[in-house]
């Protein structure tokens, strides 16, 4: 947070009912603190005005059709800010929060949980599914649409709130009221929805004198079309070379349409070997061809593994640390078969 006297802050995440605590803070004009582990696993409290959420409510309601009469199912924990926002928004606009997909008109899921829902044959027909928390590959969005769902996807962060909206990671457009710049490959955002920073902690959020903020994600911008490549700080050091995971994943994901995960597997001589984990081994030829055509030799994966089910964090995101541990232990089969 900026220096100076700190206004009263309500720790919404610690409240017995965080939704009621947020709405009460909104009525009283107080700041709120929302605890998040982000992508680093380090717990920190993001401080924001309640207006930085409530000002986006009319846009979200228009985009997904949530209002009185809508029934919203949010199966993930309220500790995840995307889930808390969904429930706060539903209550604020007069929608009903329900306890099962069978009763719902609207569903909020992470991409990994959406994949599981489609694989398990959960009935999504006629339902609006809002997907966030990680990138949604076009192939997954198409599968959900083929199962009868109306799919929406947005990119944002606990510190930035909404940044871009679309139907998958391939067609994101800037959210209403959002400005964006790309500087040296890094995304900078200015909008009414930004947080004020952290309470008593440091983190990736930074803001310049012009009000543009960044959490370190990289991407490209063409007009209002945004492509998010991932956190630029995630890297693998192999043979003395530093390989940015986002650069490799972007090439492989475009070629396969899958949520390919790139990580480093320990190696006694090189330090680590760049390894790609594919949910579908049938995409291996396309992934290899894309790596040869689109990546320098130092960036190309040298191991290709297969994980039909990706481990998830409690918030429903891909658990990279758990996946790396499985790969290091030899628990994942080769994508090319044994």
pLDDT digits 0-9 by tens, 227-247: 988 775 577 878 777 788 888
Return the structure tokens found at 187: 């995304």
Give pLDDT, residue 297: 86
CA dist., res. 181 & res. 194, Å (int): 15
Q: Do domains 9-230 and 235-328 have the same CATH topology?
A: no
Q: For residues 39 and 60, is the Cβ–Cβ distance under 8 A?
A: no
| pLDDT at 164 (0 to 100) | 98
| Beta pairing class for 44-49 and 235-238 | unpaired
Q: What pLDDT is attached to residue 7?
A: 60
Which residues are paired to 262 by β-bridges? 276
Task: Please report the pLDDT score of residue 6 as a whole number.
Answer: 56
Nearest CA to 80 among 192, 191, 157, 136?
A: 157
Of 148, 97, 138, nearest in space to 118 by CA: 148
Give the tens place of pLDDT for each residue, 6-30: 568 999 988 999 999 999 999 999 9
Average pLDDT over residues 152-171: 95
User: What pLDDT score was predicted for residue 175?
Assistant: 98
Q: How do residues 51-91 score in pLDDT, each as one tens digit?
A: 999 999 999 999 999 999 999 999 988 988 999 999 999 99
% of the chain surpassing 90 pLDDT: 62
Query: Using one digit for the tens of pLDDT, what is the confidence trace for 117-135?
Result: 999 999 999 999 999 988 8
pLDDT, tens only, 267-312: 877 788 899 999 889 999 999 999 999 998 888 999 999 998 888 8
Residue 40 has pLDDT above 50, yes or no: no
* pLDDT value for 39: 47
Bigger pLDDT: 168 or 135? 168
* Total residues found in the chain within this entry: 338
- Would you tell me which CATH number, out of the four given (1.10.10.10, 3.40.390.30, 3.40.1110.10, 3.40.50.12780), belongs to the domain 9-230? 3.40.50.12780
Looking up tokens 């990994």, which residue turns up? Answer: 112
User: Model's pTM, two decimal places?
Assistant: 0.79
C-alpha–C-alpha distance, residues 213 and 181, integer Å: 10
pLDDT class of 313 with cuts at 50, 70, 90: confident
Alpha-carbon span 104 to 96, nearest angstrom: 9
Hey, which CATH number is domain 235-328, 3.30.300.30, 1.10.287.80, 3.30.70.1430, 3.90.1150.10? 3.30.300.30
- Distance from C-alpha of 102 to C-alpha of 104, rounded to nearest angstrom: 6
Q: Where are the domains of the chain?
A: 9-230, 235-328
Residue corresponding to tokens 């959900």: 144
């Amino acid at each position: 947070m900026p220096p100076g006297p700190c206004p009263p802050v309500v720790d919404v995440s610690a409240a017995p009912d965080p939704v009621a605590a947020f709405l009460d803070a909104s009525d009283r004009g107080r700041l709120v603190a929302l605890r998040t582990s982000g992508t680093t696993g380090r717990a920190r409290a993001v401080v924001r005005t309640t207006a930085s959420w409530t000002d986006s409510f009319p846009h979200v309601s228009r985009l997904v059709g949530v209002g009185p009469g809508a029934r919203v199912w949010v199966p993930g924990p309220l500790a995840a800010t995307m889930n808390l926002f969904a429930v706060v928004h539903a209550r604020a606009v007069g929608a009903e929060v329900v306890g099962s997909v069978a009763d719902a008109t609207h569903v909020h899921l992470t991409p990994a949980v959406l994949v599981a829902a489609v694989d398990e044959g959960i009935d999504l027909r006629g339902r609006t599914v809002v997907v966030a928390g990680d990138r949604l590959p076009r192939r997954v969005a198409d599968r959900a649409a083929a199962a009868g769902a109306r799919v929406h996807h947005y990119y944002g962060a606990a510190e930035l709130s909404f940044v871009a909206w679309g139907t998958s990671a391939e067609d994101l457009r800037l959210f209403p009221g959002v400005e964006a710049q790309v500087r040296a490959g890094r995304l900078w955002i200015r909008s009414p929805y930004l947080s004020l920073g952290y309470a008593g902690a440091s983190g990736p959020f930074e803001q310049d004198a012009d009000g543009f903020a960044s959490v370190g994600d990289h991407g490209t911008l063409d007009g209002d079309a945004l492509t998010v490549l991932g956190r630029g700080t995630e890297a693998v050091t192999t043979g003395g070379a530093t390989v940015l995971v986002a650069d490799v994943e972007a090439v492989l994901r475009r070629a396969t349409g899958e949520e390919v995960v790139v990580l480093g597997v320990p190696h006694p001589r090189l330090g680590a070997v760049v390894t790609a984990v594919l949910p579908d081994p049938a995409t291996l030829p396309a992934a290899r061809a894309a790596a040869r055509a689109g990546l320098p030799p130092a960036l190309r994966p040298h191991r290709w593994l297969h994980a039909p089910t990706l481990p998830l964090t409690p918030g429903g995101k891909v658990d990279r640390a758990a996946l790396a541990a499985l790969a290091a232990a030899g628990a994942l089969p080769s994508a090319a078969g044994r």
